Structure 1
């Protein structure tokens, strides 16, 4: 197969799912792939909170795309359109033609374009935490709980308040998980305020007002509520009718966007009914890599790999040594789950998957 006959695969989004897909495609000689990403690096997102208390940790978890994709065609730009001529348009005016397209735009993240900008942000967050005696965390999902755990472990003398609009922490898991996390935090003198949100518009001079009218004094704050899904750009493209009411792309069992034979979607941007987690985004990437290989080599579509939504399982790290794990109906907290995740946060394993030193 000559290079002029190679099928063109365009991947939009260089996050957890898109990066592994590109690494896998690079091993197959039948592909000519292009990565379009709004930033020049992959960020191992579940390591972010450790990087805020230990900025040197980010040097392993923020990886320039060219580090693991040497020689690849990579455009640092936002995709803004997909048209009927099988082209993706970017903000810089490029039109990139494809035979197959994979959407992997996940959630809207930070807007730092370069790796050095992102590393400087972690340094700034660290200085903010270090110099503040009182810290407000808004959001009691996994991000807020993990950040509180990281700060408590590294800076045990800080006064930390965590405000969450829900009736319990970690609402994506069972009630037992939320109660165990609450007990763990309160034992370490974190003040948890449930059933309230924070009105940032009416907050000033280090005083934050909650929806319940409570005034909270804090020298700094961190917003740990969920980011919007990265699909708003699709509303004016040929995929506009493929978005569900939550803004996720509707996909079939092979992770193809419904109604399109040559367009796939992977990771958090899909409507697959499961928790949105990094290791599942990796699974999506490997399923689509196999399906693209089959299609491009002229295989039988009936033999495409089907993706089975995963059973609920999650590990929430609590500082450097402890964690909370839920597998189906069983919830365990302490050192043993911590041995699974908390020391390295799977950064070494993820780097190895990308062909880099752990």
Structure 2
């Protein structure tokens, strides 16, 4: 593991990256030979988030979508722990490290409770897969992108299984337009997925033992197992008592300027889902955030003036949601399409090959 401790890298600018998701991983990799890079992440691996649901129906897929941080960070230090606080010039971690920084990039996105080791995560996918295989009926709680993609994966790979989605909203995929929602609902129904809208399931009272779930309207659903696909909390709670507490908005997102610097800070950036940029929170946009901040760090390290920094423009609403292996629904700035074309773009490989390439890994097919 390169990088060494603080003592031997004094001449190099230190860039500390908190969060090893899409944005953090790409940024740390790009900067590792230009600065003394330290990545702080509670997991020892990077997970390609949009491959998660495919890995549940095809566990073999997960081996390429989970990458140990040390595989792509050959010249950086990785601290496998959670960041718990920030002072003016240090990040404190749960395992007692305090890491000083010249530049800090916060990329903690959403808080996932996934295992620390890659091996345990692979085993988790195996267990999920067993759960799906051994069940005749599956209940999915939540009709956002994760719930819809999981339902699509199961409906296509196991057409004989009964899949039910319970969603508290008035339509599936509320984060995109009505037209895309409607087309997706029609597709799900055509695959015999039952979709119950404007209902919820009390997650605290669920037990899989009896196989009967009651919704908020009193409807009973029998299912052999269930998966919870509701929104994950933002990864910002650790900042609430930190030096950046005043930089969080009312939704607990970090407020950033046009250069993606945290408001009022000249050497702290935020990228990915944690930012208050008014756009759909998605992986490919997190990559774009990372690209802008990589440019800006390089410029600042050279002493470039502020007005020469790269600016980030919020993206127009665009999204592709996979529907099984071959189809998908895409909301593009000019049209909403469903079927094989969006499927070709995303569903076959779920951008895993492309993401591995971005991280400099030769894609093993």
| TM-score class, shorter | over 0.9
Decide which of 78, 87, 94 is 1:91's aligned counterpart.
94
Residues 1-358 of structure 1 mapped to structure 2, 5 A cutoff? 3-28=9-34, 31-84=35-88, 86-204=89-207, 205-358=210-363
**Cα displacement (A) at 1:27:** 4.0
Query: Which TM-score applies when normalising by structure 2?
Result: 0.95
2:107 and 2:324 map into 1 onto residues whose CA distance is 30
Structure 2: distance between partners of 1:202 and 1:314: 34
| 2:328 aligned counterpart, secondary structure | strand
Two-structure CA RMSD over aligned residues (Å): 1.1
Secondary structure of the corresponding residue to residue 174 of structure 2: coil
**What is the CA–CA distance in structure 1 between the aligned matches of 2:84 and 2:170, rounded to whole Å?**
38
| Structure 2 unmatched runs, 5+ | 1-7
Write 1 or 2 for the structure with the bigger share of strand.
Answer: 1
- Kept in 2, the 8 Å contact 1:200–1:209? The answer is no
Instruction: Give 1:178 shift.
Output: 0.7
TM-score using structure 1 length:
0.97
Contact preservation (8 Å) 2:32, 2:75: no
Structure 1 unmatched runs, 5+ = none
1:236 counterpart SS class: coil
Q: Structure 2 CA distance, aligned partners of 1:203 and 1:327? A: 38
Contact 1:200–1:208 (Cα < 8 Å) also in 2: no
TM superposition shift of 1:329? 4.8
Q: Does the CA contact (< 8 Å) of 2:200 and 2:215 recur in 1?
A: yes
Shift of 1:4: 2.9
SS at match of 1:299: coil
Distance (Å, rounded) in 1 between the aligned partners of 2:303 and 2:12: 13
Q: SS where residue 24 of structure 1 aligns?
A: helix
Q: CA deviation at 1:99?
A: 0.7
Deviation at 1:3, TM superposition (A): 4.9
Task: Tell me which stretches of 4 or more aligned residues in structure 1 moved more than 6 Å.
Answer: none
Shift of 1:199: 1.2
Partner SS state of residue 10, structure 2: helix
Number of aligned residues: 354
CA contact (8 A) 1:322 1:337 kept: yes
Distance of 1:238 and 1:313 partners within structure 2: 34
